[in-house]
Copies of this chain bind each other. A is one copy, B any other.
Amino acid sequence: MISQRARYAFKALVALSRVPVGESLQTKDIAEREGIPRAFLEHIMLDLKRDRLVGSRRGKNGGYFLLKPPSEIIFGEILRLIDGPLAPLPCLSRHAYKRCEDCADETTCAVRCAFADVFQAMLGVLDGLSLADAIERSDRARAGLPGYGANPYSGAFI
């Protein structure tokens, strides 16, 4: 499960993506529209700003805006920023690598072998998916086109 914080961040970024280029949104508006606690969202927006995903203007008519086109803002990147490393095991993380104290030999660890596959599958999607992609899928679902909604229950899900 991703954190609530991350989920809010995604919703805010999607909202910002839907706004015409050059315009901005205020936390108050985003919070209201998306049902996010305002004070909490402020902190999240600052996180996003710190990582140069959004820019801001203070004072009256201020607000937040994307610093890159939505097609260049990647889900994996956002999730890493908010929730930290994505790797299922510390010994699989590139940037936050940490050896498992109890593991004799990393390269032949069966658990690591298994989760390496899982990780690769996750990253394949996560690092190839932009805000623009997500919005496109959402819009197609809205238009009622079959096969494009987020209805995963056609497969064997849990």
Residues of A within 8 A of B (CB): 1-2, 7, 10-11, 14, 34-36, 75-76, 80, 85-90, 92-95, 100-103, 106-127, 129, 131, 133-135, 137-139, 141-142, 149-153, 155-158
Contacts and interface: CB of A to CB of B under 8 A. Distances in A.
Contact of A137 (B94, B114, B158): B114
B118 A149 contact: no
Contacts of A129: 114, 117-118
B113 A149 contact: yes
A10 to B, nearest CB: 4
A157 B109 contact: no
Nearest to A77: B158
Contacts of A109: 138, 150
Contacts of A1: 85, 87-90
A157 B89 CA distance: 13
A75 B114 contact: yes
Contacts of A86: 158
A82 B134 CA distance: 31
A80 B158 contact: yes
Contacts of A151: 107, 116
Nearest to A15: B110
Nearest to A87: B1
A120 to B, nearest CB: 6
Closest 6 CB pairs of A and B: A35-B102, A110-B138, A113-B150, A114-B134, A113-B137, A110-B134
